Structure 1
Amino acid sequence: MTTAALPQSKTHRSWWHRNQIRITPWLFLAPGILFFAVYVILPIFQSFGISLQDWDGLGEATYIGTQNYEELWSDPAFYTSLKNNLLWLLLYLLAIPAGLFIALFLNQTVTGIRLYKSLFFFPFVISQVVVGLVFTWFYDPAFGLLNIMLGWFGAGPINVLGDPNYVTYGIIAAGLWPQTAYCMILYLTGLNAVNPELIEAGRLDNAKGWRMLWHVVLPQLKPATFIAFVVTIIGALRSFDLISVMTQGGPFGSSRVLSFYMFEVALSEYGFRMGYGAAIAVVLFLIMLLFIAYFLYSMYREERR
């Protein structure tokens, strides 16, 4: 018995020694994968299931098929929210070049550079609620700094947050402040990893200024640019806190976005329509997935090249 068992135990030990390098990383990743599956992947499928039901969140759910999605097509509030989300998406991308140029400035040896870095880094560490309150006071038509500065040029006061034509742009400007700081941090990290030998080679080839930036520096910042694009797109599409603090979706619902409209429908004044809110969430998720999949495919294609 012992003689027969000995080779078997040796076989088990040799299999582990042959595969432990391959298996050990998965053992470390297993808790994270489990949490990701339970708290991210599973809720995605649950949201899609709820979107096919008529449910108030407490009582019994009734299966209604695609009626919630059909209602979206004729809902003017949904189209207003979608239009504002697209506007957020387009203008929020300005944070990427702004963060890049600030990072290029802060990467220089300038007198007082630590003070400049602290000032530009400050918006990133404060809460979005604080940002919303600061810009609400900034836009105030009675005592806001914006209208005081406009008065210096003889311009009349503008009620930015009370005018449907300006309110979305005003909130986006508030959101760009911390988002630019975040992109700046990403690019500062990327600039620290730039190969100095390539910089020297570019200088030997008489590459300066924009040519150096475009042909030598930016290609090495592609990973940082990819992360900045993904984070900025997600931030633009899930914008909620600034709208909640600054306007509550007003005036007259003109500053709504999909995430805030989803909250209103599911948990606020529209009678706890969880199914309809889940349908809005699914549409928002698909828009995010479309953009992120495009950037992932672009990065994969360039890596293949």
Structure 2
Amino acid sequence: MVLGISSVVWMLIGIAALILIVIFAASRFTRYGGQRIMFLAPAAFLFSVFVLYPITGSIWLSLHDVKADRLICSDGRSISEAQGDPTCRRVPKMEFVGLKNYQKFFDKFPRDWKRSNREIDDLLDGDPETKAKMPRASSEFKALINNIIWLLLFQIAIPIGLALAVLLNQTALFARILKPLYFFPFVISPAVIAFLFQFFYNPFEGGPLVEFYALLGLKKGYGILGTNGLSTFGVIIAAWYPQIAYCIIIYLAGLTAINPELIEAGKLDGARGFAMFRKIILPQLWPATFICVVVTTIGALRSFDLVQVMTGGQRWSEVLARYMYETGFGEGGGDYGFGATVSVILFAIMLVFIVFFVTNMVRQTED
């Protein structure tokens, strides 16, 4: 274990003590009695153990240089004798380095920005030999930029889901038949979706894009998931498939909860078509929209499974979640401190967006 058993025990004891202090203070200084506060203790304890503890542990690890570079064996053999022995295990070496891991993450960004611009220019009309010799941007920079692209383009699933939900919110026979078909992508495993879109993107014989390429006049073999810079967009389109289904489900639930009296009142006032939707229906769908935006944002920032299966995280599709895994646990990894740093940065970005959305939700509710 990275922190050791004793460290975990003492941290859990500290969390339990903190919960008791908060409960005692709340019972003394609020209008709620101690018995009522005690009902919150189990949930608060579970939240602290399974949410706060991993967060604080990751922040603590990010301030250290933690690498799996020591081998220990139960029979006391040396490292040279223990290589490849399954009875031996690696134990991380931990050294406090402060903010050096964060400096390492952001230090090369100005240089990487210039290199990334040159990569894009050479990607469009560059010579292959020149591309091979050209210095490239760092993996962490690529991962951060790709996550920003994910964050922007993944939101397109929300208006598409809203439009389809409105179309499916009908009593007609075709709508009742199509509803299960639109829900189906949400229950499919991400790995299955990845393989489906890999087949769809196949640029050679047998792939559905072959004929489409012929219509556009593109040469056969122009792979979306290759090294041509389109792989991120290809994975995002694949991720739309289940996310649109999720938004449809949320919006259909919101549409069924709309007060029909408001619809009738709008019709009496002359509201029809898009005016009815914009002034009466859409404002009542704000809670559903809030849920879709939050879940879509979190999904964009923690994207991992589709990237791992479809591209293996090659440079043009790398994201922070997969880069964090590769740094800490992947082949040639073992740098737990830097992996924790990437996770903290990803959590900070996610926290900013969640706080922004929650604040706006509260303001909208108060208004």
Please, what TM-score do these two structures have when normalized by structure 2?
A: 0.74
> Displacement of 1:121 after TM fit?
0.6
| Aligned mates of 1:39, 1:219 — CA distance in 2 | 36
Runs of 4+ with >4 A deviation? 19-26
Asked if 1:69 corresponds to 2:102, the answer is yes
Does the CA contact (< 8 Å) of 2:61 and 2:336 recur in 1?
yes
Q: Measured at CA, do residues 139 and 226 of structure 1 come closer, stay the same or move farther in structure 2, by a change above 3 Å? A: same
| Aligned mates of 2:199, 2:36 — CA distance in 1 | 54
Does the CA contact (< 8 Å) of 1:164 and 1:255 recur in 2?
no
Aligned twin of 1:12:
none
Report the AA paired with residue 220 of structure 1. Answer: Q
| Aligned mates of 2:67, 2:166 — CA distance in 1 | 52
Q: Which of 187, 191, 202 lines up with 1:125 in the alignment?
A: 187
User: 5 Å matches for 1:108-187?
Assistant: 108-142=170-204, 143-152=206-215, 154-157=217-220, 158-187=222-251
**Per-residue deviation, residues 135-171 of structure 1 (Å, max 9, x unmatched):** 0111011122122333355443320000332110000
> Displacement of 1:300 after TM fit?
1.1
Question: Whose relative contact order is higher, 1 or 2, with alpha carbons under 8 Å and at least 6 apart?
Answer: 1
User: 5 Å matches for 1:77-92?
Assistant: 77-92=139-154
Q: Secondary structure at the match of 1:163?
A: coil
Structure 1: segments with no counterpart, 5+ residues: 1-18
Does the CA contact (< 8 Å) of 2:326 and 2:333 recur in 1?
no
Q: Measured at CA, do residues 20 and 293 of structure 1 come closer, stay the same or move farther in structure 2, by a change above 3 Å? A: closer
**Per-residue deviation, residues 144-200 of structure 1 (Å, max 9, x unmatched):** 212233335544332000033211000000000100000110000000100101111
Q: Secondary structure at the match of 1:62?
A: strand
Aligned twin of 1:225:
289
Aligned twin of 1:9:
none
Asked if 1:31 corresponds to 2:95, the answer is no
Please, what TM-score do these two structures have when normalized by structure 1?
A: 0.88
The total of aligned residue pairs comes to 284
Report the AA paired with residue 102 of structure 2. Answer: Y
Q: Secondary structure at the match of 1:60?
A: strand
Say which structure is richer in helix.
1
Q: Secondary structure at the match of 1:112?
A: helix
Compute the RMSD of aligned alpha carbons: 1.9
